[in-house]
Amino acid sequence: MTAPPASTPSPAAVARRSPGRLRAELAVLAAALVSAVVVWEGHFRLRDAARPHPPRGLFQLDAYSGYSIRANLRDEPYPIFGSDRHYHVTTTVDGLRRSTPVDVSDDAQVVFFTGDSFFFGAQVEESDTAAAVLEHRLQADTGPRGAAVLNGGLPGGTTVMSVCRYLGVGRKYRPRVVVCCQCPQQAVPNPPDYAALARGQTDPDFAAKLPYFIDAEGVLRYHVTEVAWLRPACRASALVRHLVREANQTSPERSRETLREAARATVRDPAAAIAPFVELDRWVRRDGGRTIVVLRPDPWGLSADVRPSVYEVTRDALRAEGITVIDLAAVLDGRTDVYAADAHWNATGHRLVADLIYREIRRSAAPSSAEPPANLERLSERPAGAIRK
Amino acid sequence: MLFHSTQFLVFYLAVFAVYWLLPWRGPRKLVLLAASYYFYMAWDPWLALLIAGSTLWDYVCGAVIDASEAPRVRRAALVLSIVGNLGLLGVFKYANFFVDSALGLAHALGYEASRPELEIILPVGISFYTFQTMSYTIDIYRHELKPCRNALDFALYVAFFPQLVAGPIVRAATFLPQLDRDHRWDWWRGVDGAWLVALGLFKKVVLADNLAIVADAIFAAPGQYGAAASWLGTIAFAFQIYADFSAYSDIACGVAGWLGYEFPENFHQPYLARGMQEFWRRWHISLSTWLRDYLYIPLGGSRHGTWITYRNLLLTMLLGGLWHGAAWTFVAWGAYHGLLLAAERWWLERVAPRLGARVGASSLAAVFQVALTFVAVCLGWVLFRARTWDDARVMLANLVGLGEGSGGYVLDTTGTAVLALAVGGVALAWLREQHRWDWQRPLWARYAVLTTCLAGIVIWAPRVSAPFVYFQF
């Protein structure tokens, strides 16, 4: 046991190791670390700025549905993923995606679309959205003032947000048909306090509790932390945001696992998973309309390995509740011509979906006249028992 | 628990804090031992039983060898130690390989047999710690080492977490004396450790993980690619495996250094070697010296004539290849290196002296020799990396222009930058080795290199990082 360590420094190396050199070396370490932090911050700022999603200025914070589309947008351009072109968004005073006023007769057939970015029509012009195509087809049957399709789709919208969207915006148009488009594979956890929202309860601090914020550039973002004191740091520094995100393990694999877990939860308890759909259906029935749920397959296959299929479980549970379901998986699976570069529907996809909804509406005629809600002012007294946080 | 994970960062900070807060040597060693077992059990708790059993076995064998004067008893204890270690390797690392090879041979001879179901998991790091413990008992047998009197010290030597799973293979004579020292915090050690860890993380996260994307894509379907893309994939893998493995050694040396322990250098710019012998003096030095001291020299080394020397070289490298993995491609890789070493020896002994002055020592000749060695090593890496014999054959055919594929591979910006950084790193090392310019001397150069490393670790890290390549060995 007498052999010395093999990496004993040479005499020359020892000679260079003066106290002055040590101070210089420590200074180099500190300077390099500070410089690296500056480079990281700049890098993440540039990276955040270069990201096309989510679009700038499209959203506003909303005490009722968390966030919603900004009202009165006029031909706002938003980048089309994977190209240098843009699609344009015009909205009504209610934040519905529509460039013409709603001008219908008293007995017109009004259809309200609620759901996520697929119904909103991300990546396509308004005239190519399923709502516009469906309206065109219905008006061909009824005349220009005989039908309207109102597009309340909200990018990133969850099932509970769809309910709030109907209660907050759609209901006052007294739609005969409410069509809700969601993807069961992307069982996004619903933000807190929606049960209270659906009961119409107000909360003066609601904005601070939202999981969203709109940054200085007008981009709607998720808070990457639930720790209150970290939020200002996350807003101020792209590097801190990145580190917190990494610490939260929101890597693609982790996000995928979160979604898989949500999908497994749906499979374990389908009744809880479809509760917001059932709640929406109850409201719509009470208002004299009918609900159609458009279940869309997940083009990314994020929880494709969960068995039994969360899609099929959701579809069957909805049908068991007596809710009409348009099964898009049966039509879209295996087709690649219906998706844009970022896997939203393209114009072909929207036309196909509009056709299916049109046929469903025509197949089972909607009630002849929608009775107005018994008492709009008393809505806030309604419990929203089925709506889960 | 990978070195470049948040989990390891938290683990190491906790160990570091507790270790230096304790003023006594004994409790510090206990902390390191507990931390090492925790680190190892993070892969699979049952593995602790295996390493503990191996530790106890060799500790007892070492004590028996030292205590006895009778040659037969000493030899028996040594044999038991070696059989125990090789038995562990045989069962956990090579059982499936032996079964598959036997079945393949039986099939070739016209016999058919069903394959028994063997669900054996390869314990992480088993190749490294069994070689360490074997060297311990052999050194005691040779009277080159006194046995360790404290079983816990020996357990810490076997399980010390920085080098446990992927080396370097630290000899007992190097490590055990360090356990008897009083370690005090040394700022120079802190600076050296910071450099080693920063360079190691850069090599792993930036170079190895990004080059793996290129190499994996090309080696996944070698039949599709032409000569240029195949060379790109081979060179990318050559730099990937060097960056990956040397990164582990660097980080291991760095984190051990922060705890006051020193490991021997494991890599010394292997791609600047001017021949195969020199390559193995620079590549995985702790393994090549282990093979030299415990296999090549006991076989007779170069003491028994030319052909015996060639045989010894071939056998040593064959077993060295098999150490890397339980597959015939690894054996072929070892045989290839054995043949190259024998051929080089023949050239240097028989041909080069006749050429005399015609083989000069000019810079141009040096560059040619370095390039030739690199190409020879790269051809070997094809055997090492290919998944199957067919893939290796197709890839080698591509490299010499006889392949059927013609596809190209377009490097993205990151791939190009990373490859340029790898080549630039070799160029800097060459300038330093030639005493033309030492980037480690001027502070501004050290600052620039360190800033690039630190910035790159975060900016150029691919989304998914692979485990260290040598974990599988």
pLDDT tens for each residue of B250-263: 999 999 999 999 88
CB contact under 8 A, B262 and A7: yes
Give the chain A residue nearest B195 (alpha carbons): A29
Nearest CB neighbour to B443, from listed A2, A28, A33:
A28
Shortest CA gap B62–chain A (Å): 13
Count the residues in chain B.
473
3-state secondary structure A37-66: HHHHHHHHHHHHHHCCCCCECCEEEECCCE
Q: Between these two residues, A13 and B320, which has the higher pLDDT value?
A: B320
Low-confidence ranges of chain B (pLDDT < 70): 115-120, 122, 356-361, 463-473
Q: Which long-range contacts (CB under 8 A, 24 or more apart) does A196-204 make?
A: A197/A63, A197/A64, A197/A65, A197/A164, A198/A160, A198/A163, A198/A164, A198/A167, A198/A279, A198/A382, A198/A384, A198/A387, A199/A380, A199/A381, A199/A382, A199/A383, A199/A384, A200/A379, A200/A380, A200/A382, A201/A380, A202/A63, A203/A63
pLDDT for residue A194 is more than 60: no
Q: Which two tokens stand for residue B54?
A: 């191996």
Element (H or E) spanning B458, and its range? helix B443-459
CB contact under 8 A, A7 and B264: yes
Contacts of A22 in chain B (CB under 8 A): 187-188, 191
Q: In the beta sheet, which residues pair with residue A149?
A: A111
If 0-12 CB within 10 Å is exposed, 13-18 middle and 19+ buried, where does residue B448 land?
Answer: middle
CB-based contacts of B38, cutoff 8 Å, min separation 6: B11
Give the chain B residue nearest A39 (alpha carbons): B455
Rounded mean pLDDT of A280-304?
85
What is the number of other CB atoms lying within 10 angstroms of the CB of residue A56?
15
CB contact under 8 A, B177 and A247: no
Residue range A322-359, pLDDT digits in tens: 999 999 988 887 788 888 888 889 999 999 999 999 99
Nearest CB neighbour to B447, from listed A8, A31, A246:
A31
CB-based contacts of A153, cutoff 8 Å, min separation 6: A97, A113, A114, A115, A116, A117, A118, A119, A120, A121, A131, A181
Contacts of B171 in chain A (CB under 8 A): 3
Q: In the beta sheet, which residues pair with residue A334?
A: none
- Phi, psi at A86, each rounded to 5°: -130, 155
Contacts of A248 in chain B (CB under 8 A): none
| Residue appearing with tokens 């690619």 | B225
Q: Which two tokens stand for residue B74?
A: 């000493």
Contacts of A28 in chain B (CB under 8 A): 443, 446-447, 450
Q: Look at residue B410 in the predicted model and tell me its pLDDT.
A: 79
pLDDT for residue A104 is more than 50: yes
Contacts of A252 in chain B (CB under 8 A): 463-464
Q: What distance in Å separates the CA atoms of residue B302 and residue B316, rounded to the nearest whole number?
A: 12
Count the residues in chain A.
389
Q: Look at residue A80 in the predicted model and tell me its pLDDT.
A: 83
Q: Using 50, 70 and 90 to split pLDDT, how confident is the model at A242? A: confident
Q: What distance in Å separates the CA atoms of residue B148 and residue B64, rounded to the nearest whole number?
A: 12
Q: Look at residue B347 in the predicted model and tell me its pLDDT.
A: 86
Q: Look at residue B118 in the predicted model and tell me its pLDDT.
A: 63
Q: What distance in Å separates the CA atoms of residue A250 and residue A244, rounded to the nearest whole number?
A: 9
Give the chain A residue nearest B453 (alpha carbons): A36
Residue range B263-321, pLDDT digits in tens: 888 888 899 998 999 999 999 899 999 999 998 888 888 888 888 888 889 999 988 88
Q: What distance in Å separates the CA atoms of residue B201 and residue B9, rounded to the nearest whole number?
A: 12
pLDDT for residue A101 is more than 80: yes
CB contact under 8 A, B264 and A35: no
Q: What distance in Å separates the CA atoms of residue B150 and residue B392, rounded to the nearest whole number?
A: 49
A47-56, A134-143, B30-39, B56-65, range with the lowest pLDDT: A47-56
* Cβ pairs bridging A and B (under 8 Å): 79
> Contact, A268 vs A73, CB < 8 A?
no
Contacts of B268 in chain A (CB under 8 A): none
CB contact under 8 A, B6 and A25: no
ipTM (interface pTM): 0.74
Closest alpha carbon to A259 in A210, A221, A310, A209? A310
Alpha helices in B165-206 (DSSP H): 172-179, 187-201
Q: Which residues of B lie closer than 8 Å to A, measured between beta carbons?
A: 6, 145-146, 171-174, 176-178, 187-188, 191, 194, 253, 262-265, 443, 446-447, 450-451, 454-455, 458-459, 463-464
Q: Look at residue A177 in the predicted model and tell me its pLDDT.
A: 95
The residues of B assigned a catalytic role are 324
Q: What distance in Å separates the CA atoms of residue A172 and residue B240, rounded to the nearest whole number?
A: 63
Contacts of B177 in chain A (CB under 8 A): 1-5
**What is the distance of C-alpha B282 from the center of its chain?**
11
Nearest CB neighbour to A22, from listed B188, B450, B451:
B188
Contacts of A17 in chain B (CB under 8 A): 188
| Residue appearing with tokens 């014999």 | B389
Shortest CA gap B425–chain A (Å): 18
CB contact under 8 A, B458 and A33: no
CB-based contacts of B359, cutoff 8 Å, min separation 6: B352, B365
Closest alpha carbon to B121 in B67, B60, B47? B47
Give the chain B residue nearest A5 (alpha carbons): B174
Shortest CA gap A16–chain B (Å): 10
Shortest CA gap A146–chain B (Å): 53
Question: What percentage of chain A exceeds 70 in pLDDT?
Answer: 75
Shortest CA gap B103–chain A (Å): 35
CB-based contacts of A246, cutoff 8 Å, min separation 6: B6
Give the chain A residue nearest B6 (alpha carbons): A247
Shortest CA gap B456–chain A (Å): 9
pLDDT for residue A203 is more than 80: no
Give the chain A residue nearest B174 (alpha carbons): A5
Residue range A363-379, pLDDT digits in tens: 876 454 444 433 333 33
